[in-house]
Chains A and B, each alone.
Chain A
């Protein structure tokens, strides 16, 4: 059974700070997705990383896929209150998606 762990579980920071959240597994995934979910809504896809060692940037968000394709990180620079939400990682294998439990981020103004 493939499992994904995310850390930290909760994170509360001030506006303007930087942060990194992690997604780890003992399994290899063909790709990994990061989603952000706001209350009352479904998860919204932020990025997909496919190649080991791949780095993708989306404005102030930087995503990295581990060389062995077992882990990933999301770094946010100069966090804003609009970044508040539940950040979920999901690993994609053959015919299967596995979600982590999420990191709940709160950015205080």
Chain B
């Protein structure tokens, strides 16, 4: 079974430029997460989708970040314009959430390492 796929793996851009990250979750997983991980820290949730609906985007800096999950499968996270402080690893994860609303496990992709210069 294929895992969570992310691309690109690495991206270097100049500040004020736009950037986009793509994620393909595990087949059948209805919930998708985007996290940001700074060096030496744990992942911090940016946005969570259940199917195509964003159910938790409280930590997403909406002035410059946007995300979409068309048809409840693949997802794209965009930053426009990028700032120096956006340099981090952006992780995508997916899980299967049952009718009770609980998910016990999530599976991560390899991440996209963004460097803003």
Contact = CB atoms under 8 A, between A and B. Distances in A.
A102 B106 CA distance: 17
A100 B103 CA distance: 18
Interface stretch (B12-20, B62-70, B76-84, B107-115): B107-115
Given A95-B56, A104-B40, A40 B110 contact: yes
Given A41-B111, A42-B4, A42-B111, A97 B45 contact: yes
B55 A95 contact: yes
A101 B42 contact: yes
Nearest to B55: A95
A80 to B, nearest CB: 23
A100 B42 contact: yes
Contacts of A99: 35, 42-44
Contacts of B107: 45
Contacts of A41: 110-111
B85 interface: no
A82 to B, nearest CB: 19
5 contacts: A33-B106, A43-B43, A88-B43, A90-B106, A95-B55
